[in-house]
Structure 1
Amino acid sequence: MFESMFATPASVAATDTAAWLRELLRVEAALARAGAAIGLIPSGCAAEIEAACVPDRFDAAGLSRQAVPSASPVVPMVAELRARVSDDARRYVHLGATSQDVMDTALVLVARRCVGSTLDDLWAVGDRLADLADRHRDTVQIGRTLLQQAVPTSFGLVCANWLAALAEAADELARATDRLPLQYGGAVGAHDTLGIDGPRMAAALGEILGLTVPALPWHTRRGPVAGLAAALGAVCGALGTIATGVLLLAQNEVAEVTEGSPGGSSAMPHKRNPARSTLVVACVHQAPALVATILASQPVELQRSAGRWQAEWPTVTTLLRLTAAAAWHARSAAESLQVDSERMRAAAGLGPGSTTAGPPGVPEAAGPLIDRALEAYRATRP
């Protein structure tokens, strides 16, 4: 019922059950390839394992149910994978890995895939804001502090501030996602099965998956996931500020901006609701609690968390989807946004019948500030 409002098709495809299974099996296949690359697995056995890692051959729903007794879907998945290969290949399945290695690395792969499309939408919002900032650099608008009229500003400068916050958050999200590393450490993070071959295996695995290899396994250091969550939360904050601004300025009593494709009402045909901005706020309103859940997962009990780690999987999934939806709705709202410059001038005391002595204009510093914001944006924009 609600998926289209709180997720996008791309984010669902990147984070649904099939996507998680695909990335889990991708890690298992990469383990086989890496083992063969450094001479720990016979090439024929590695090829057999890779050939068995086909998501369509696994019952994702069944694995979900079977995950309950072990608190991990990796346990039944590995058992099924072993059952699908020969006796010779079976002992090389999941070589040197533990369930957390596979889950954490799959989470990294899921996040990277999902964030890519989200960033596309964020930069599209940024492009529109940059255009509005430049086009309306001389459009006088009354500033409002504590929701009360203050002194004049420029609507272009308002858009430039929205742009700066969005660009900073999008850039940090890209960096946080790129920093997500490989996890490979074995049962207790000491390469207990492979010994001195463990680091070699990790290096080969990282190369195959395109992930950086940290100095130490990070299974007890949840900083990478916390950094991702915080970056997603910051993006939601920037989008929420833009959407809230549109909602306030689109009120009938203000009517300085409107969405180009407003929503309707089931009971009041005259209404033109800023539905896209409303959905942005609805998405980002849920983000802080999800970020807090991830931050609360950082304290780890000895060599593996009991419960907090498992809570990360659905929480990150939901946070990725909500951020993607917020970016998509914000893009639709921004690209269709209509600005009533005359209404802005009137509210600033520049309209017909104004009694303002010496009508205020755009603050002198607005133009240079907008230029600086646009220059910074162009330097950040991929």
Structure 2
Amino acid sequence: MSRPGPLDTENLRDRVRATVEAHLDRQRQVLDEVSDDCEPLVRYVADLMDGGKRLRAAFCYWAWRAAGAPDGPGIVTAAAALEFLQAAALIHDDVMDGSDTRRGAPAVHRRFAALHRGGGDAGHFGNSAAVLAGDLCLTWSDALYSGSGLPPAALARGRAIFDRMRTQLMGGQYLDLLDQATAGPPHRDALRRARRVVHYKSAKYTVEHPLLLGGLLAGAGDDLLTCLSAFGLPLGEAFQLRDDVLGVFGDPARTGKPAGDDLRDGKRTVLIALAYERADAVQEKILNALLGDPELDGTGVGTLREVIAGTGALTAVERLIGELLERSLSALDTADLDEPGRSVLLALADAATDRVS
């Protein structure tokens, strides 16, 4: 049996899950008034949200507690709103990437495509329906935040960062798309561009902004907010770098994603940018020939893994993850944080950078 993790503290994961399920039940009733045919819009989202580590909700909640605010249903509900934002991002990201699976199950757009029975393009129907499901998740995220039951003054304090988080997430996603659309072999600026995507697509919305939201909701002062930001930004970058490594070297049985999907998609990650930066002529030729090939088979995936590791890029990324984690943890050394908030945030940092899905 696995040991309880930081997300089990105060039964937070189950409480967030119960909040999500109750909100989906309410939204199911709203859509029932439109038509019974809308049922998959809720069911597929519910299935997607049944998994995941609830990291964003946890960072928000434990920043609130570290700022000295008490436990209560209002902060759990506000934190759970971030789970709907994450669901929207995953659904839309899978459409844009053309991914077949998510968390070991068919991606939402693939599930919708399987409903198609008439004339026309099943893929187009699936993508279109998934976009609508993702849009609903964005709407439900806002509704859950606004209706969390926290005092209006607290919600007003958090609103600016809540809105900024959503806007900058979309900006980071666009940069990711843009880099893919304009990509030939990575150029000298590739590493800087890859880290910019990491900064806005993942680091801020996964860790820093949820922390700041929890702190602002609790009424934290500027010093504490600065500390939470210094803790969250490097940790968020390390989180995404770990995800990039898993996207290439992870075990599909544990990650829930097919092996090598990031390689087939030709994702311009920090790992890939470093591989190009360090590659010799032979290694660069292999990268150019195989990276981004949608028909890449297991042998090709293995070849690219060997090349990437052989350039030293994997070692460099692992070293960078360690450096970022150390910088993140040092930000909490002198911070005036309440317990158990401080201890759980430290444990969350380890969970976010040493994960399998």
TM-score by length of 1: 0.27
Query: TM-score scaled by structure 2?
Result: 0.29
Greater C-alpha Rg: 1
- 1 or 2, which has the higher helix percentage? 2
